[in-house]
Structures are given as structure tokens and as C-alpha cells.
Amino acid sequence: MRLRNLGNTGIKIGSVGLGCMGMSWLYEESARDDERSVRVINEALDLGGNLLDTADLYGAGHNETLLGRAIAGRREEAVVATKFGIVLDDLEARQAHRDNSRAYLRKAVEASLRRLDVDVIDLYYVHRIDPDVPLAETWGAMAELVEQGKVRWLGLSEATVAQARQAHAIHPVTAVQSELSLWTRDALQADGGEEGGMVGWCESNGASFVPFAPLGRGFLTGTLHSGQFEESDFRAASPRFHRAAMEANQRIVDGVREVADRRAVTPAQVAIAWTLAQGERVVPIPGTKNSRYLRENLAAAEVHLTEDDLADLDALPPAQGSRY
């Protein structure tokens, strides 16, 4: 596995990591299987995909517990990334609210450490910035956790460049995690005077940019069809996965497949390799609960896209339907 820097920490990590969320949350509830997920996480470590992403929100703590179980005995090999700041009110209805207060942070970090069964969290993100709590207050409280040895490095999720700058002035931003894929390119758009957007800001400030949903929640792999989602699946109610939007967005998948055929790789690998091509600081975390997909996704670290491939991918039409 090719390696990339984790922010300015001096640590190198596999250039493709693993998103664990789908093992407990949002997709295909009937296909979840903890034993298989534990094996998949271990396989990711075997193959060098050691950035393992979770959040306290995913399955109301289930996902952190699962990850903790999987890495027991292999703690030093894993880079454990988790998040706080979204409080689940109703698991079934997936109703939640933001809370970035110091008081909540204190409780949240202890609960995550307990569920993960680790002494320290490697990368701790604020999952969504709470408009009711000044970011400086939240980030300052998170920096105290670093001083106390409960957390090693800090990250922001779905932040703006202005927010990243503000946080970075208080304590280094090691990573920013936002959606980035062939059908969601906002993180590359100019923002706050930064020409290359959030990805550009990360490049210039020594932070990692961690694209979430690099496979477009499965769509870009070309294996999804409208009408196939279970009622509880996030995609069943997502505007981008409505029948008409999926039909319109098929043009994107067709373009990805064309490049994949040319390179003799899979559409999933093209989608991941495209994120890696956006900058040396980019470390995508495709999500899967299947060993076959995991192997395919991690092997995308070795896929080289040519200038022509990238030009064709950049010329794909924008997605129809909003992200949420």
C-alpha cells in the first residue's frame, strides 16, 4: 500500500483507509454482520489500509464498539478516527441534534474511549459544527483533550475554509473530512479566498483531506439500481437516489465505466483513484462490509489515472439531486 502523511504528525498512513459506518448505520440493515465486519477491519489492517473511520453517532455507539472489538490486540497498527458533536435523539427515526459544548465533549470522549476500548483516540473530529457554540470554544476544549492525552490529533468534518483557519490558529488541524467524489466536488471549489477550496487549504497547511463517501454511497461503482433500497436505507429517501435522479446520473456512471474499461480496473477503483489524484494530502475512506470490495478499494491506491483519464472524468456532468 502506498503511504501518505497524516497531517503534520510525522505519521505515515495507507493512502486508502476504511470507512466503517455502513457496518452499523445507514445502508442495507439486513446485510449487517458483526463477525464479517470484524474480519473486514482486520483485513484492512493486514493490507495496510490502517486509517479506520467511525463516529459515536453510527448505530448509537455500535460502530465504535465493533471497531474496538476488531482492533483488540492490534491497537498499534490502527489509526483510529472517531467523531463527536451530533447527539442521537431517536435511533429508529435517525433524529439527532448538534451539541459541541465543552460539557458534552467531556462526556462524549469518555464514552468513545470506553466503547473503542483504547487509552487514546488517534484522530478526533468534530462531526458537525454547532452554530450555537463558538468554534473557538469547542476547538479549545478539544485541544485540552490532547494535553490530557485522551486524543492525539484533531479534525473537522464538513467545515468551511474560514472555520479551518480559525481552528488552525488555536491548535493544528490534522485532518478535514468532507464529502468528495466524482459527483460531489464542492471541496475543490474556491472558498474563503482559497483557490483550491478545502482540499487546497489542506495542501497548503499540512492537513490531510479525508474524502467521505468517495464512491458516492455506492452509486459510482455502477452496481446500484433504483428501487433496490430497503425502507430503512438512507438512500431510499435521499434526493440523489430518487428514480429520476438516478436515471439522469447514470451518465456519470457510464463515463466512469469508460475510463475503468480503458485502464482494465473497476469503476470503484477509478472513483477512488480520482480522489487520490486531487492532491498529495488526500486520503479517502471508502466504506464497505465486504472483503471483496475492501480488496478492490485498497488496490485503487496503485491505480494511475492519466491526464486524459482525469480530463474525461472532470468533464462528467454535475449530479442531479441534492446530497441530503
Ligand X SMILES: NC(=O)c1ccc[n+]([C@@H]2O[C@H](COP(=O)([O-])OP(=O)(O)OC[C@H]3O[C@@H](n4cnc5c(N)ncnc54)[C@H](OP(=O)(O)O)[C@@H]3O)[C@@H](O)[C@H]2O)c1
Q: Which residues are marked as active site? A: 58
Per-residue x/- track, 130-169, ligand X (CB under 6 A): ---------------------------xx-----------
Per-residue x/- track, 254-283, ligand X (CB under 6 A): --------------x---------------
Q: Label residue 248 exposed, middle or buried (CB < 10 Å: 0-12, 13-18, 19+).
A: middle
Nearer to ligand X, 21 or 109 (CB): 21
Beta strands 3-5 and 12-14: pairing type?
Answer: antiparallel
Shortest separation between residue 230's beta carbon and ligand X, angstroms: 12
CB-CB contact of 282 with 6 (8 Å): no
* Contact with ligand X (CB under 6 A) among 42, 250, 290, 320: 290
Unique residue bearing C-alpha cell 495496510: 48
Count the alpha carbons within 13 Å of 181 in the hemisphere toward its beta carbon. Answer: 25
Beta strands 175-179 and 151-157: pairing type?
Answer: parallel
Shortest separation between residue 106's beta carbon and ligand X, angstroms: 22
Binding region for ligand X (CB under 6 A) out of 16-24, 198-206, 251-259, 313-321: 16-24
Per-residue x/- track, 52-71, ligand X (CB under 6 A): -x------------------
* Contact with ligand X (CB under 6 A) among 22, 49, 68, 155: 22
Nearer to ligand X, 148 or 228 (CB): 228
Binding region for ligand X (CB under 6 A) out of 2-10, 64-72, 131-139, 291-299: 291-299
CA Rg, the chain, in Å? Answer: 19
CB-CB contact of 259 with 300 (8 Å): no
Whole-angstrom distance, CA of residue 278 vs CA of residue 276: 5
C-alpha cell at 182: 466524482
Using CB under 6 A as the binding criterion, the count of chain residues that bind ligand X stands at 29
Binding region for ligand X (CB under 6 A) out of 95-103, 116-124, 244-252, 293-301: 293-301
Shortest separation between residue 212's beta carbon and ligand X, angstroms: 3
Nearer to ligand X, 196 or 211 (CB): 211
DSSP string of 31-50? G--HHHHHHHHHHHHHTT--
CB-CB contact of 235 with 288 (8 Å): no
Per-residue x/- track, 175-194, ligand X (CB under 6 A): --x-----------------
The letter for the amino acid at 15 is S
Q: Determine if 212 is a binding residue for ligand X (CB under 6 A).
A: yes
Task: Determine what percent of the chain falls in helix, strand and coil, rounding each to the nearest 5.
Answer: 45, 15, 40
At 85, phi and psi to the nearest 5? 120, -10
**DSSP 3-state of 287:** strand
Q: Label residue 317 exposed, middle or buried (CB < 10 Å: 0-12, 13-18, 19+).
A: exposed
* Contact with ligand X (CB under 6 A) among 24, 37, 100, 297: 297
Shortest separation between residue 271's beta carbon and ligand X, angstroms: 8
**DSSP 3-state of 190:** coil
Per-residue x/- track, 70-109, ligand X (CB under 6 A): ----------------------------------------
DSSP state of 26: S
Unique residue bearing C-alpha cell 491526464: 307
Shortest separation between residue 298's beta carbon and ligand X, angstroms: 10
By CB under 6 A, name the binding residues for ligand X: 19-22, 27-28, 53, 157-158, 177, 212-218, 221, 223, 268, 285-290, 293, 296-297
